[in-house]
Amino acid sequence: MGVVLDTVGKLIASYLQKELPGYEPFTPSDPEHLRGVIEPGDVLLVEGNNRVSGIIKYLTQSTWSHAALFVGPIDGATEPDGEPHVLIEANIGEGVTSAPLSKYFPYHTRLCRPVGLMFEDRNTVCRYAINRIGFGYDTKNILDLMRYLIPLPIPQRWRRRMIAFGSGDPTKIICSALIAQAFDAVRYPILPKITRAGSRQARREILHIRDSSLYMPRDFDISPYFEIVKPTIVHGFDYTSLHWADKQKPLQEVAGQFGVFPEAIKSPPLVPEEIDQEATLPA
């Protein structure tokens, strides 16, 4: 029976991980800028394009369906072309694995950085994730996989709990849960502790969210303790140097030495001019 469940689980995982055709990110990553600013301990959010990504984005009402932790080059983990693996992530059917940064260059991504995290704690977070490489996702736990095949729509108040429905140990290594556990190892917060809530139902939601299995990729985006890093503007951004389709040259070259507005426009005086008392008024 265990062999049958394992086989069925692998088939479901393969179906959920299959990428959908026609995906084109609205704002793809800039590889060079991203490589230049990303640091160990940063969380890379990804807008995925496989079947499970679409369902997670619906359940979480967010752009982000996946999260990976940047830990820097990992010893002994490289691509055939020599590119080092620098990301730790957890995927359905694969478990905890490492990956190169270039894996997500074609996708829309967002970089979230823990603010004020000490160097020693940053290393602890990265080491926690690296030590869990090889932890497998238990494909025998069919409930963990079949919940993503449940027909939509799902009531909004149940969507977050759908991520952890039927969860056992395997669910605790989904992408966002793995990263949440790593930061919890040094007691770095992700979401604020709210003591007030508008209703009893909302208060229960806040208490449940402390469990790592209930964290979502978007929680790093909305966390008040993580800074959103925009790679294209970190080292300065000059909009006048951009080449637009309807202009052959950058704005500065088009304007020349006179600037965008060649002639200065003189504002009218705020105080009326004095009337010459000696002037003869017309009859």
Average pLDDT over residues 237-250: 77
Helical pair 51-60 and 2-17, crossing angle rounded to 10 deg: 80
CA distance 81 to 216: 33
- List, for residues 65-120, the tens digit of each pLDDT value: 889 999 999 998 999 999 999 999 988 778 899 999 999 998 889 999 999 999 99
176 pLDDT above the threshold of 90: no
Whether pTM > 0.85 for this model: the answer is no
Q: Does 153 sit behind a cis peptide bond, omega within 30 degrees of 0 on the bond before it?
A: yes
Antiparallel, parallel or unpaired: β 43-46 and 66-70 = antiparallel
200 pLDDT above the threshold of 70: no
CA distance 114 to 41: 7
- List, for residues 26-70, the tens digit of each pLDDT value: 676 788 899 999 999 999 999 877 777 776 776 667 788 889 999
Instruction: Spell out the domains of the chain, with CATH numbers in brackets.
Output: 2-229 (3.90.1720.10)
Coil/strand/helix, residue 279: coil
